[in-house]
Amino acid sequence: MGKRKGRMIKNVILAVAIPIILYLILLIMRPEAMGGTQILDILRQAMLPTILAWGVTFACKLGLWHFAAGANVIAGIILGGGIANRLGGGNLLIAVCIIVTSLLIGCLSGLLYIKMKVPSIIATVGTMLILESISALAWGGGGVSVDPSFGQFFNRTPVVIISTVIFFFIAYVLYTKTKYGFNLKAVANNINVAQQQGISVDKVKWISFILVGLYSGFYGVLSLARSNVQNPTTNMGSMDMVFSAIMCFFVAAALEKYVNLIVGVYIGGVTVQLIKFGIVAMGLSGQFNNAAVAVALLVFCALSSESPYMVQFRQRFGRLRRSNVQVKKQ
């Protein structure tokens, strides 16, 4: 029991090492920018992209790169919010309409992908362009706006924290405690073996797309609450949200041997926010944000890659670490 507890503590320390190291580097280089409650602000800001990343994780775990998630968010807000406004509903109806619309988009996107039998990149990029066009045409192209009271309620720190905790537990239970979660991991590990065991691969993929839609809705409500306005985007302008979400997933995938994947996604969210905050703290243009996230994405892609070179690298690193431990014991 003692060894197990010690191993668990060690794994947690290793998992949070990346954001802690990033924070310490920023603290040394820009102590004036990292003082006070700044770290608490970063932890709160990490919650919103993490919510979308939890949804995207269910697809990415299967190797389905869901590039339409950002467009799903925007379409859910504009279509769902617009419907609620025309029904004359209050803040709760607006939130429900956004979530339901995003969920329906996820359902339809999943069916489209499964029936077309095309690579997920092609299917989701096509879906993204369609959703961006629909969002730009809906309600005369003016987007959607809500009463300031919407943001005053849903953007309160206690509401954001409680919502994030609820969404975390939903994702955690789905991934670790349900038949879907078991089937998801089985398909991800070996699709042929999963099919031989009677697992419906198409059903697992469809549910994953539905969950992307659901979490896009959760994200959409809290995102709209920040500004009370959502304008349409075109020319793949929704991809910024997707890259941040996928970055969170790759950090989590690299850390999965130490912590649960769903927990790792939040660590990834904090890492992404630290990178973006570091760009601003260093006085660099915000244009460097995407470049910095892209470089970090490539690094974590490489670390979690199963290519022969990276497998060999990790094996050598593991042997080196074990030999150092043995030397210290002697």
**CA Rg, the chain, in Å?**
21
Say what the pLDDT of residue 142 is: 86
Say what the pLDDT of residue 192 is: 93
Residues of the chain with pLDDT under 50: 320, 325, 327
Residues in the chain: 330
Say what the pLDDT of residue 99 is: 97
User: Considering only CA atoms, which of 23, 56, 62, 12 is closest in space to residue 248?
Assistant: 56
Say what the pLDDT of residue 327 is: 47
Query: pLDDT tens for residues 110-144?
Result: 999 998 888 888 889 999 999 999 999 998 888 99
Query: pLDDT tens for residues 208-233?
Result: 999 999 999 999 999 999 999 999 98
User: Which domains can be identified in the chain, with CATH numbers?
Assistant: 46-316 (1.10.3470)
Say what the pLDDT of residue 101 is: 97
Cα–Cα distances (Å) from 23 to 15, 17, 20, 36, 37, in that order, read: 14, 10, 5, 13, 13
Query: What's the rounded Cα separation, in Å, for the pair 269 and 42?
Result: 10
Sorted by sequence, the CB contacts under 8 Å of residue 232 that are 6+ apart come out as 74, 78, 132, 135, 136, 138, 141, 143
Say what the pLDDT of residue 29 is: 82
- Please state, rounded to an integer, the average pLDDT across all residues of the chain: 85
